[in-house]
Amino acid sequence: MKGITTKMYRMGFVVAALLCMVWTSCGNKEKQAYTVGVINVVPDLDQALEGFKEGMTELGYVEGKNIRYVYDGATTDMGKLPAVAQKLVAEKVDLILTMTTPATKAAQQATAGLELPVVFAVVTDPVGAGIVESLKHPGGNITGVVFGSQEERRFEWLIRIAPKIKQVYIPFNPKDQSPVLSLKAVRPMAEKLGIKLISIEVGDSAALDDAISNIPSEADAIFNLPDSFVSARLPDLVAAANARKLPVSGANVTVVKNNDVLTSFGFDQHLAGKQAARLADQIFKGAKPADLPAEMVEFFLAINLKAAEAIGLSIPDTILRQANIIVR
């Protein structure tokens, strides 16, 4: 009897082991290794990619072991974005990570009709840009991290920090829905505060060169929209503004830290990248982008006191006490 029991136990163990093997090979859909393709337009946004990589590492995806990244650097010539996106599709990556609206639109077009997931790390208004159906139910193969709702408050903070401002200069690319929609959001706040906007369209490099070299004499400040094309020349724009001692508001807090921009009320690129990593992890574990709500970034008020000193601006302590990030 004891021998029979032992034999039955062994058979049960073998069956359980076989069932486990079947489940591992058929039921568990997770791969052993993943490839992530990356599309970016602005070099400064590489910090979002670093945040993404850090977030993925914390979630168990170690570069060189079970995940690799295909990225040839920022594509500053936006005319080349479709080719970059098509190349990633041809390489059969498992997911495409995009930074900026133009990069995401290129990925959207390249993956149309495919099940290849796309996660955007920073897009202003993905609904308005036609990238997702809604933030709660994106539909399709794309989801990601959104930062569009703070533009009015960012404009208001600029005026609070430099209250003598009467006219604000805004060069923007009319071919990019991100700055177009942001400018639309800012106009009511400017009207409410009694501020005149000097907005100028810069659709090519020559127009942007002229916009930087010839800042209107009546401008009291510059408001840099979330605009891939203009932001690629942000150092030049800031240098021109500093020569005129004009305050500049940047689209995210990273430019306040790294580009001597006076202020921003926006997102931290590194943290936005980590947030996108959590979405990618869920997708790799079986979630569908169509059902994975887009997430809103956290906003921070950043002030650069070195930039303030350079333009002769004194910022009261009542304002500084409300800042999350102060660069001294």
Residue 259 in tokens: 């580009």
- Whether 165 and 247 have beta carbons less than 8 Å apart is answered as yes
Q: Is residue 4 part of a domain?
A: no
189 and 237 assigned to the same domain: yes
CA–CA dist 172, 224 (Å, integer)? 8
106 and 156 assigned to the same domain: no
Pick the closest to residue 143 from 23, 295, 262 (CA basis): 295
CATH number of the domain enclosing 282: 3.40.50.2300
Pick the closest to residue 214 from 190, 243, 235, 186 (CA basis): 243
Residue 53 in tokens: 């990589």
pLDDT band at 1 (very low <50, low <70, confident <90, very high): very low
- Say how far residue 3 (Cα) sits from the centre of its chain: 66
* Coil, helix or strand at residue 8: helix
217 and 131 assigned to the same domain: no
Q: Is residue 245 part of a domain?
A: yes
The string of pLDDT tens digits covering residues 123-174 is: 988 999 999 999 999 999 999 999 866 899 999 999 999 999 999 999 999 9
Mean pLDDT of the chain: 91
DSSP secondary structure, 39-87, as one string: E-S-GGGHHHHHHHHHHHHHTT--BTTTEEEE--S---SGGGHHHHHHH
130 φψ region: left (φ > 0), alpha (ψ -120 to 50), beta (else): left
The string of pLDDT tens digits covering residues 161-176 is: 999 999 999 999 999 9
Q: Residue 8 pLDDT > 50, yes or no?
A: no
* Coil, helix or strand at residue 304: strand
124 and 176 assigned to the same domain: no
pLDDT band at 28 (very low <50, low <70, confident <90, very high): very low
Give the pLDDT score at 148. Answer: 67
Q: Is residue 241 part of a domain?
A: yes
Q: Is residue 21 part of a domain?
A: no
Domain region containing 220: 150-266+301-327
306 and 167 assigned to the same domain: yes
184 and 234 assigned to the same domain: yes
194 φψ region: left (φ > 0), alpha (ψ -120 to 50), beta (else): left
Give the pLDDT score at 149. Answer: 67
pLDDT band at 25 (very low <50, low <70, confident <90, very high): very low
Instruction: Provide the whole-model pTM.
Output: 0.78
288 and 322 assigned to the same domain: no
113 and 168 assigned to the same domain: no
72 and 186 assigned to the same domain: no
Q: Is residue 254 part of a domain?
A: yes
Sequence-distant (≥ 6) Cβ neighbours of residue 198 within 8 angstroms: 167, 168, 169, 170, 216, 218, 219
Sequence-distant (≥ 6) Cβ neighbours of residue 184 within 8 angstroms: none
Residue 38, φ and ψ in degrees, nearest 5:
-125, 135
287 and 166 assigned to the same domain: no
Give the pLDDT score at 2. Answer: 45
Give the pLDDT score at 32. Answer: 85
Alpha helices (runs of H) in the chain, residue ranges in sequence order: 2-22, 46-58, 81-90, 101-110, 151-161, 177-193, 205-213, 228-231, 234-243, 253-258, 269-284, 305-310, 317-320
Q: Is residue 190 part of a domain?
A: yes
- Whether 178 and 225 have beta carbons less than 8 Å apart is answered as yes
Give the pLDDT score at 320. Answer: 97
157 and 238 assigned to the same domain: yes
* Coil, helix or strand at residue 278: helix
User: Sign of dihedral through CA atoms 4, 7, 11, 12?
Assistant: positive
Q: Is residue 22 part of a domain?
A: no
Residue 151, φ and ψ in degrees, nearest 5:
-60, -40
141 and 214 assigned to the same domain: no
Residue predicted with more confidence, 151 or 12:
151
The string of pLDDT tens digits covering residues 189-246 is: 999 999 999 999 999 999 999 999 999 999 999 999 999 899 999 999 999 999 999 9
Domain count, the chain: 2
Q: Is residue 50 part of a domain?
A: yes
